[in-house]
Amino acid sequence: MTIFTERVIRAALSIPRGRVTTYGRIARAAGGGGMSARSVTGILGKAYDAGETRIPFHRIIYADGKVWVDDAHRAKRMKLYKEEGVMLDKGDRVKNFADIVFDFK
């Protein structure tokens, strides 16, 4: 596992309950450059498949505030958002994105 991969996983695991962050913010927190955000999904998917099941995928969203959700995961994700107080509009975008976006320090 590369240092970047380890940092991506650690960053994802550190997203607080009730907050969201973006693929780009995770990539930057892990020390990646502009295009590295594209690798975050693959890294986290492989980590999950390897047994890291604590990854809060529902807290990682697109830069425009849109959440990724498909029919197979919609009910579970919507339940998680409701439990954590994350409000979505009808277009599956976080309503209060600016207020709850998590920036890594």
What is the per-residue pLDDT across 76-93, written as a single tens digit (0 to 9) for each? 999 999 999 999 999 999
- Tell me, what CATH number does 85's domain have? 1.10.10.10
Q: Which two tokens stand for residue 2?
A: 């590369």
Distance between CA 90 and CA 37 in Å, rounded? 26
77: containing domain? 3-96
Evaluate if pTM is beyond 0.85.
yes
Q: DSSP states of 9-33 as a string?
A: HHHHHTPPTT-BEEHHHHHHHTT--
Distance between CA 6 and CA 9 in Å, rounded? 5
| C-alpha to C-alpha distances, 67 to 2, 4, 7, 56, nearest whole angstrom | 27, 24, 22, 13
Q: How many domains does the chain have?
A: 1
In a domain, 105, yes or no: no
In a domain, 102, yes or no: no
In a domain, 74, yes or no: yes
In a domain, 104, yes or no: no
In a domain, 14, yes or no: yes
In a domain, 103, yes or no: no
In a domain, 59, yes or no: yes
In a domain, 42, yes or no: yes
Is pLDDT at 1 greater than 90 in this prediction?
no
Label residue 34 by pLDDT band (50, 70, 90).
Answer: confident
